[in-house]
Amino acid sequence: MTSDFARYHRQMLLPAFGEDGQARLRNSCVLILGCGALGSVAVDMLARAGVGHIIIADRDFVELTNLQRQVLFDEDDVARALPKAIAAKQKIAKINSAVRVTAVVDDINHTNIERLASGADVFVDGLDNWEARYLANDLAVKSARPYVYGAAVGTTGMSFAVLPYGSGAAEWETRAGGSLATPCLRCLFGEAPPPGTSATCDTVGVMGPAAAIVANFQVAETLKILTGNFGQVRRTLLNIDLWTNEIPQLSPGKVDNHSHCPCCRERQFDYLDGKAGSSAAVLCGRNAVQLRHRQRPDSVDLAAIAERLSKHGEIIASEFMLRAFIKEHGNDYELTLFPDGRAMVKGTDDPGVARSVYARLVGA
Ligand SMILES: [Zn+2]
């Protein structure tokens, strides 16, 4: 055992790891998409496990309400108003200085995700909205790289490791004599739910352990993938409720059963190509950003969204629009929603901030 690896002794005792597995981890690169409740746990564990390079992409800053569950951060990060990606990088430097961390403070969208993911072997999902998830799924399928989905809200969590065709499992596939490919996220969930229909941690809350257990599941799957143990990757959708103690397992089956998937069967990468999802337009001189869905949703239930947002601030609602006056961490935002899913966020001229406010309060 080389002295470089001494700290990993307990992990290398595991037969599936050994010195060879540890060397594989050192030569690996993982992209963390979002460094919140899931991402901060994943970064911590992957750095401790000895993944050589971690790219952390997140657009938000550490806030007091994050500390209940985002274990990598502390009150000092809040006081310094550090971006999460930067705070995470500083923590990892103290935890495992051998790990190279690239911190990217940016909104993840179709114009930059391919560049962000350059060199990454696996994508770990710490995202808070469907649009970005389907974008990551598009890139995973297109570039044949694994993508480990995860989501937690309330007391529930879900996770699934997407192994697209050709995603580095070639040696195992040859041995197994068949394909290891799994369904992709669009096979599993179909079209993204209309805006405003998904619960978010900001509107219904989240229990810390629900997020932590999902993130640790994601890390375990990522370690299996990176050490070449593709055969051990779970083939079912993890779907847990820590409050009711339900842990049902859904079997998504073989990818061949999902012959109509536009992404992994038809190879249409609508999100990556910028044909699906939302576009953001900065409204010059008005300190506002307009968000518009490229594929117009059927209709948005403004009354239901108004009900949820009423806990956050003053609401003006009619059948034609909903306006919410939100005070968040010293900033005032005016969020206007229209039945066709269009939204206007006043109080910022940064599309990333506008997307963040929308994703957290409305659900995208
Ligand atoms: Zn698919």
pLDDT digits (tens, 9 = 90+) for 108-120: 999 999 999 999 9
For residue 256, report the distance from its CA to the centre of ligand 1, in Å. Answer: 9
Which amino acid is residue 188, in one-letter code?
A: L
Give dist(CA 168, CA 24) in Å, integer. Answer: 13
Q: What is the pLDDT of residue 17?
A: 92
User: 285-317 as b/e, with b when 16 or more CB fall inside 10 Å?
Assistant: eeebbbbebeeebeebebeebbebbeebbebeb
Q: What is the pLDDT of residue 276?
A: 87
Q: What is the pLDDT of residue 298?
A: 66
To the query of whether residue 201 is one of the catalytic residues in this protein, the response is yes
Greater confidence (226 vs 337) lies with: 226
For residue 141, report the distance from its CA to the centre of ligand 1, in Å. Answer: 8
For residue 70, report the distance from its CA to the centre of ligand 1, in Å. Answer: 31
Counting residues of the chain whose pLDDT is more than 70, the rounded percentage is: 92
User: φ, ψ for residue 78 (rounded to 5)?
Assistant: -65, -45
Counting residues of the chain whose pLDDT is more than 90, the rounded percentage is: 54
For residue 186, report the distance from its CA to the centre of ligand 1, in Å. Answer: 5
As a whole number, mean pLDDT of residues 137-153 equals 96
Which range of 69-73, 129-133, 189-193 scores highest in mean pLDDT? It is: 69-73
For residue 272, report the distance from its CA to the centre of ligand 1, in Å. Answer: 14
Residue with tokens 């890390």: 219
For residue 236, report the distance from its CA to the centre of ligand 1, in Å. Answer: 15
As a whole number, mean pLDDT of residues 135-148 equals 96
Residue with tokens 């990060």: 77
Please state which of the ranges 74-78, 242-246, 254-258, 312-316 shows the lowest mean pLDDT.
Answer: 254-258
As a whole number, mean pLDDT of residues 302-312 equals 84
Beta bridge partners of 32: 56, 124
For residue 298, report the distance from its CA to the centre of ligand 1, in Å. Answer: 23
Q: How confident is residue 255, by pLDDT bands cut at 50, 70 and 90?
A: very low
* Among 87, 59, 78, CA closest to 329: 78
Query: pTM (2 decimals)?
Result: 0.83
Q: What is the pLDDT of residue 252?
A: 62
Which amino acid is residue 359, in one-letter code?
A: A
Q: How confident is residue 2, by pLDDT bands cut at 50, 70 and 90?
A: low
pLDDT digits (tens, 9 = 90+) for 327-358: 877 789 999 888 877 888 999 988 888 988 88
Is pLDDT at 299 greater than 90 in this prediction? no
pLDDT digits (tens, 9 = 90+) for 27-83: 999 999 999 999 999 999 999 999 999 999 998 899 999 999 999 999 999 999 999
Greater confidence (304 vs 55) lies with: 55
Q: Which residues have a Cβ under 8 Å from the Cβ of 317 and sit 6 or more positions away?
A: 302, 303, 306, 323
Q: Of residues 35, 201, 261, 264, which has the active-site annotation? A: 201
Is pLDDT at 258 greater than 70 in this prediction? no
